[in-house]
Amino acid sequence: MSSPTVLLLGAMDTKGAEYGFVRDRLQDSGVDTLIVDFGVQGEAQIAVDVDSGAVAKAGGSDLNDLVAASDRGAAMTVMSRGATAIVRGLVESGQVQGALALGGTGGTSVAAAAFRNLPLGFPRLIVSTAASGNTEQYIGETDLILAPSVVDVAGLNRISMRIFSNAAAAMAGMVRAPALPERESRPLVAASMFGVTTPSVTRARARLEELGYEVLVFHMTGAGGRAMESLIRQGYIDGVLDITTTELPDNLVGGVFSAGPDRLTAAAETGTPQVVSTGALDMVNFGSRETVPQRFSQRNLYIHNSSVTLMRTTTEESEAIGAELARKVAASTGPTVVVLPLGGVSAIAVPGGPFYDSAADAALFGAIRTGLEGSAVELVESQLDINDPELAVFFADRLHALIGPRSTRSSTTPLGK
């Protein structure tokens, strides 16, 4: 059996010693390497398999022209485009089974752009000076791994060698790991959940599993919503139980858990069957109490825990949120049901709860009704609150009916290696 091959992507004109060390550690572990150079500052310091000229060409330019222009930003844009194309080709052709890179912010940006587009589950790791703080720009909604370099990627020393050695060992372990055993083929359902809708999603998930589905639950913290939308667009998902749409108010009002303007659009655009509800649309999320913007200091705030503060949506905000939900769902090209839980949209928005607000709920529901008029979307209204077990089972059973005989697609969709 041939050894797995790991792609090493980086600027070999300035990081040759570091990549040479990682190459040797991988080879000591019985792993072959394939080195791709995107450096533009001089000759590669180690032997490479794909040189920077080829990367520049794949990016639509000539390396000599890039060097002559002396514009590092423009050069990195070209090299990023070229590296992305080359890496994708190597992975799709089966020539490499993993991808590893080292770098500062510039090198991380190029490598992350190339690695983000690889299939879910494909082993990919970047040792980076930027692997702390806000890493969303590098990782996006993927399973790319960022490992802190601790010291700069600038030379070999007792700290960097330990970090690089660990990274090589981790990559070797990933590419040499036995393939996962084949599981019984079950259609995939994506479900959106938040703390205040957990009882409903938990019961609905159990019911869907009884019906023969595998359920992927996503935490609606911005990244969770983007990940779910991405998997729907990639064709992994057979049905969507999107009963927790709380990222919409965060995007509208300015909370910390926004999933961006594309939230609640993937299933509509792809025709994926979906059941949508209004879970946690009563709230906007912030960090600890002291992080809540001053302009909201007099609003109805609820301390969910030491790291999360919730703010009740107003009547005006609720109306706008309902209109946005209806607009996005009304564009659905596949079977869609919207369920309004008139008894309460979250665990704390039921009568007697700290976020109970009948006027805001009425504005939310009214805007959804108006927005769905004339559409093909089925609208169901229930007097129950969203966490009622009976309603949870209804969510699951209704989605099952929508999916029907379509529920075989995901069984043939590979997840990584």
Radius of gyration (C-alpha) of the chain in whole angstroms: 25
Give dist(CA 108, CA 112) in Å, integer.
6
How many CA atoms, within 13 angstroms, populate the side-chain half-sphere of residue 313? Answer: 36
N-to-C CA span, the chain: 16
pLDDT, mean of residues 389-406: 93
Helix H or strand E segment including 87: helix 72-92
pLDDT band at 411 (very low <50, low <70, confident <90, very high): very low
d(CA 379, CA 390): 18
Sign of CA dihedral 106, 111, 114, 119: negative
φ, ψ of residue 192 to 5 degrees: the values are -100, 135
Which pLDDT band holds residue 416 (cuts at 50, 70, 90)? Answer: very low
User: What percentage of the chain has pLDDT greater than the value 90?
Assistant: 81
Q: Assign 139 a pLDDT band (cuts: 50, 70, 90).
A: confident
The helix or strand, by DSSP H or E, that contains position 103, with its residue range, turns out to be strand 98-103
Task: For residue 1, name the pLDDT band (cuts at 50, 70, 90).
Answer: low
Task: Give the model's confidence band at 134: pLDDT under 50 very low, under 70 low, under 90 confident, else very high.
Answer: confident
In the chain, the amino acid numbered 40 is V
In this prediction, residue 11 carries a pLDDT of: 93
pLDDT digits (tens, 9 = 90+) for 76-117: 899 999 999 999 999 999 999 999 999 988 899 999 999 998
Report the pLDDT value the prediction gives residue 176, as an integer from 0 to 100: 93
pLDDT in tens, 174-233: 999 988 776 667 899 999 999 999 999 999 999 999 999 999 999 999 989 999 999 999
**Confidence (pLDDT) at 140:** 81
Tell me, what's the pLDDT at 117?
A: 87
Going by DSSP bridges, is the β-strand pair 301-305/308-312 parallel, antiparallel, or unpaired?
Answer: antiparallel
DSSP assignment, residue 412? G
> pLDDT tens digits, residue range 314-349?
999 999 999 999 999 999 999 999 999 999 999 999
* Least confident span in 12-16, 155-159, 181-185, 348-352: 181-185
HEC letters along 273-289: CEEEEEECCCEEEECCH
**pLDDT (tens digit, 9 = 90+) per residue, 238-294?**
999 999 999 999 999 999 999 999 999 999 999 999 999 999 999 999 999 999 999
* Residue 128: HSE in the Cβ half-sphere, 13 Å Cα cutoff: 27
Q: In this predicted structure, what is the pLDDT of residue 209?
A: 96
- Integer CA distances (angstroms), 129 to 70, 105, 124, 133, 154, in order: 24, 7, 16, 11, 10
pLDDT for residue 417? 38
pLDDT above 50 for 408 = no
Whole-model pTM? Answer: 0.80
Residue 413 has pLDDT above 50, yes or no: no
- Confidence check: pLDDT of 4 > 60: yes
247-280 as b/e: b if 16+ CB within 10 A = bbbbbbbebebbbeeebbbbbbbbebbbbbbbbb
